[in-house]
Each structure stands twice: as structure tokens, then as C-alpha cells.
């Protein structure tokens, strides 16, 4: 927990990452609107943020349940919120689902405001990388989505960039007998593995020093995906949008680039237990391939059209700035 107000209550790292992502999204879009590089006004940007937040949270949660834990659709319990689908406080968000939810929210927003749907989705795609980056960093803090173990030849002296997870001692195949020398250092009232994990996350250096040699070194997949989904993706989109583009080009570039980077980084990530696989391809890989195909189709379709070009990050002399309100040619 990032900020604990009382036992069990406070601001969690994942919630903090979402908040920072939304703030960065708002800042980027507001800046573009202020400089009239997009068709949205600053007021419309604030309205769009409401749609984005709902789309990300609802789509991310529903995507996780449908893709990874469909049993939650028929899981009910006595305590609030009664339905497993709504147990968002227990974790479980899917980035692919969040993207789908955001697209749906963008379509609704664009129709309400009479703005090109493709342009609105371009704006959301351009502002999405910071949130994706912060989400991966929160995964690392929470000890989630582990990378694959490094080769056996590297385990004796793992490189500095490798990652070790204290929660590995909770795995069924972990040799618990190797933990017995740490028993005098932790709370005897709890099971030994759990007590060791809690001590490690409480920054007990005496426990961490003796535990570290017992753990496996893994690829730093959270950091790899934070870099590819964040700075790298935003850099590619910024390069594409240096000059005015037809509506939909940024969204297409986002799908192709994000899909390709996820397909690469998923090679170093452990597959989730029980998740659908097609040969060696995990479900996230298959979804990423689908994004790449869809993005390429979008770019191909736009290349055959003659829609007016909008935006552009560079202040090019002699070109027309994006109008502050939608024109008939810019409407979908």
C-alpha cells in the first residue's frame, strides 16, 4: 500500500498509478487543445477525461474477467460488492480490455460532441502511454506478472538488472526446508513462508540479506514493459504526429507499435496459470497480434482516403492550425 490511512485502508500502488496516468493524459490533451493542435477545446478535454476513466476502469476489469478469470462472472458472495466481477479491490485489470473500453468511451464522446470519432481515438491513443507505463511499475511494486527465470548459467551470479521476488517462497514447489535458518528472525505465530514475505516487504535487511541467495533471478519484465509501453510508444507516436495526419493514423500507429512491443516483451513473461494458449502463443500474445493486424488495416484504409490532415506537434509555418471547433469535413 502506497499510503496507509488505517490498517487495510489507504491508497494502493495500483490506484496511485491510475491517478498519475490520468493526470498525464489530461495534461497532454489539455496542452494540445491550448495550442489548437486538436479539435477539442480545453473544456471538452475535461469532459473526455470522464469518459476515459470510465472506459479504462470498466473495460480493464471486464477484460480481465473475460480473458483470464471468466469464473468471476458466476461467482457471488455475501459481502459487498456481492459479485466477483465487481471485486476490483482484489486486483485484476487487463490492459487490452482497458483499450477496448476506452475506444467504446471515445466513440460515445465523439458522437455526443459531433467530432470525428477517429480523431478522438487518436487523441486518446497519443495520451495513453504514461498510464500504461505507470501500470507496469505498479505491477512490479505489487510483485505481479513475473518475468521468466534467467538461464541456469546466470543464477549463481545474476546481473544487477535481474529481479527476485520474496513471494517465490509461497510457491508450492519452493523448498521450505531451506527457510528454516530464517525462522528465528520472523514472527513465529505465522507460517514461516508468509512471515518471511511480510518481513521482506517491511524492509527487514537482516531477512532480505539471508533470503536473497535462496531466490531465483528473473527477467525484469515489468520494467521492460514499462519502457516499451511508455516512453518508447510515446516517442513513436510523437514522431508520427510531428506533422498533420489524417484522423486515425495515430490510433493505427498505436495499435501496431503497442502490439509489436507487447508481442516482444511477452516472450520474457511467465504465462499465467490456466490461461488459453495456442501452441507457444499465450493469450496476451494472440491479443497483441490481433492489435497489429487491426492497426495495419486501419492505416491501409486511411491511406486510401482523402480526409483532411489534423494536428502536428511542430509549429510549421504556413500551415493551417487545427480549428477550435469541428468543421463539416472533420466530422465522422
Helix axes 233-240, 249-265, angle to 10 degrees: 150
Backbone angles phi, psi at 277, to 5 degrees: -135, 150
Res 90: pLDDT = 67
The pLDDT profile of the chain, 332 residues, written as one tens digit per residue, is 666 676 666 667 778 888 999 999 999 999 999 999 999 999 999 999 999 999 998 888 888 888 888 887 778 777 777 787 777 766 677 888 888 999 999 999 999 999 999 999 999 999 999 999 999 998 898 888 899 999 999 999 999 999 999 999 999 899 999 999 999 999 999 999 999 999 998 899 999 999 999 999 999 999 999 999 999 999 999 999 999 999 999 999 999 999 999 999 999 999 877 778 888 889 889 999 999 999 999 999 999 888 899 888 887 554 444 554 444 444 43
61-93 residues labelled b (16+ CB within 10 A) or e (exposed) = bbbbbebbbeebeeeeeeeeeeebbebbeeebb
Res 273: pLDDT = 77
User: What does the longest C-alpha to C-alpha distance in the chain come to?
Assistant: 75
Within 8 A by CB and 6+ apart from 275, the residues are 67, 68, 282, 283
Helices (H), 189-276: 192-201, 205-211, 221-227, 233-240, 249-265
- Cα–Cα distance measured from residue 133 to residue 5, given in angstroms and rounded to the nearest whole number: 26
Contact between 59 and 101 under an 8 Å Cβ cutoff? The reply is yes
- Cα–Cα distance measured from residue 29 to residue 27, given in angstroms and rounded to the nearest whole number: 6
* pTM, to two decimals: 0.84
User: 16: which 3 cell numbers?
Assistant: 496511485
Q: Which residues pair with 245 in a beta bridge?
A: 310
Q: pLDDT tens across 275-323, in order?
A: 788 888 898 899 999 999 999 999 999 998 888 998 888 875 544 445 5
Res 230: pLDDT = 95
Contact between 104 and 59 under an 8 Å Cβ cutoff? The reply is yes
Residue 289 carries which DSSP code? H
Contact between 18 and 131 under an 8 Å Cβ cutoff? The reply is yes
Res 3: pLDDT = 67
User: 77: which 3 cell numbers?
Assistant: 458472495
Residue 281 carries which DSSP code? E
User: 45: which 3 cell numbers?
Assistant: 478535454
Amino acid at each position: 500500500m502506497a499510503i496507509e490511512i488505517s490498517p487495510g485502508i489507504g491508497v494502493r500502488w495500483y490506484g496511485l498509478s491510475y491517478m498519475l496516468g490520468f493526470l498525464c493524459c489530461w495534461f497532454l490533451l489539455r496542452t494540445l487543445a491550448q495550442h489548437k493542435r486538436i479539435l477539442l477545446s480545453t473544456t471538452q478535454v475535461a469532459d473526455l477525461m470522464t469518459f476515459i476513466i470510465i472506459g479504462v476502469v470498466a473495460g480493464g476489469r471486464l477484460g480481465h474477467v473475460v480473458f483470464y478469470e471468466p469464473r468471476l462472472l458466476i461467482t457471488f458472495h455475501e459481502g459487498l460488492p456481492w459479485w466477483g466481477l465487481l471485486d476490483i479491490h482484489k486486483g485484476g485489470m487487463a490492459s487490452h480490455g482497458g483499450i477496448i473500453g476506452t475506444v467504446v468511451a471515445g466513440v460515445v464522446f465523439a458522437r455526443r460532441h459531433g467530432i470525428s470519432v477517429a480523431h478522438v481515438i487518436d487523441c486518446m491513443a497519443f495520451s495513453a502511454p504514461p498510464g500504461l507505463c505507470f501500470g507496469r511499475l505498479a505491477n512490479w511494486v505489487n510483485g505481479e506478472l513475473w518475468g521468466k527465470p534467467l538461464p541456469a548459467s546466470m543464477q549463481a551470479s545474476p546481473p544487477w538488472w535481474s529481479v527476485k521476488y520474496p513471494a517465490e517462497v509461497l510457491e508450492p514447489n519452493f523448498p521450505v526446508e531451506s527457510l528454516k535458518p530464517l525462522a528465528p528472525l520472523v514472527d513465529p505465530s505465522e507460517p514461516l513462508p508468509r512471515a518471511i514475505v511480510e518481513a521482506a516487504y517491511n524492509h527487514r535487511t537482516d531477512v532480505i540479506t539471508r533470503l536473497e541467495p535462496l531466490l531465483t533471478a528473473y527477467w525484469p519484465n515489468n520494467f521492460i514493459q514499462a519502457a516499451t509501453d511508455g516512453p518508447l510508444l510515446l516517442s513513436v507516436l510523437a514522431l508520427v504526429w510531428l506533422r498533420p495526419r489524417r484522423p486515425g493514423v495515430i490510433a493505427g500507429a498505436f495499435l501496431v507499435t503497442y502490439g509489436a512491443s507487447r508481442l516482444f516483451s511477452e516472450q520474457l513473461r511467465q504465462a499465467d496459470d490456466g490461461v488459453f494458449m495456442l501452441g507457444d502463443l499465450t493469450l496476451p500474445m494472440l491479443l497483441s497480434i490481433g492489435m497489429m493486424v487491426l492497426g495495419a488495416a486501419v492505416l491501409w484504409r486511411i491511406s486510401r482516403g482523402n480526409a483532411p490532415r489534423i494536428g502536428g506537434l511542430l509549429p510549421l509555418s504556413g500551415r493551417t492550425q487545427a480549428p477550435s471547433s469541428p468543421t463539416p469535413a472533420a466530422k465522422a
